[in-house]
């Protein structure tokens, strides 16, 4: 599920989570990318893979919520291990990072507690 999500993001172009303008058109870009990427597959595979992508995007199942939590945790880990480099380069505040990443708790409360501590430990 996560890899399928990433394939669409690669085709659409990944959007920085704190980029309001870039995120405004993100869904449209990803929808077009999904059509393009999944359209390369035979019908039965296209439908099965698209269902997994939609499951990830809609976050209605426990598996999708967990996958989204892990997906959102990765940039937090990258920032933690680089001393908050990306956050500092883009002037991201602790409050912004906490607000954007709070959704991790929907999929894994324990991961959110880890992410929260890493954010608080990395940003003033």
pLDDT digits (tens, 9 = 90+) for 72-101: 999 999 999 999 999 999 999 999 999 999
Using the predicted structure, report yes or no on whether residue 123 has a pLDDT greater than 90.
Answer: no
Please give the average per-residue pLDDT across 16-40, as a whole number. 94
For the CA atoms of 96, 98, 100, 105, what is the dihedral angle to 10 degrees? Answer: -170
Give this prediction's pTM: 0.90
* Terminal C-alpha separation, the chain: 35
Sorted by where each begins, the domain ranges of the chain are: 1-58, 63-124
Please give the average per-residue pLDDT across 17-22, as a whole number. 91
CB-CB contact of 123 with 95 (8 Å)? no
Using the predicted structure, report yes or no on whether residue 124 has a pLDDT greater than 90.
Answer: no
pLDDT for residue 105: 98
């Amino acid at each position: 599920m996560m890899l399928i999500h990433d394939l669409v993001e690669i085709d659409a172009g990944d959007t920085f989570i704190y980029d309001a303008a870039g995120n405004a058109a993100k869904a449209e870009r990803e929808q077009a990318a999904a059509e393009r990427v999944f359209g390369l597959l035979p019908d039965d595979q296209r439908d099965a893979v698209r269902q997994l992508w939609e499951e990830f995007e809609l976050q209605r199942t426990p598996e999708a919520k967990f996958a989204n939590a892990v997906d959102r945790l990765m940039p937090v880990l990258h920032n933690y291990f680089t001393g908050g480099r990306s956050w500092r380069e883009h002037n991201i505040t602790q409050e912004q990072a906490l607000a954007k990443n709070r959704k991790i708790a929907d999929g894994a409360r324990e991961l959110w507690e880890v992410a929260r501590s890493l954010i608080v430990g990395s940003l003033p």
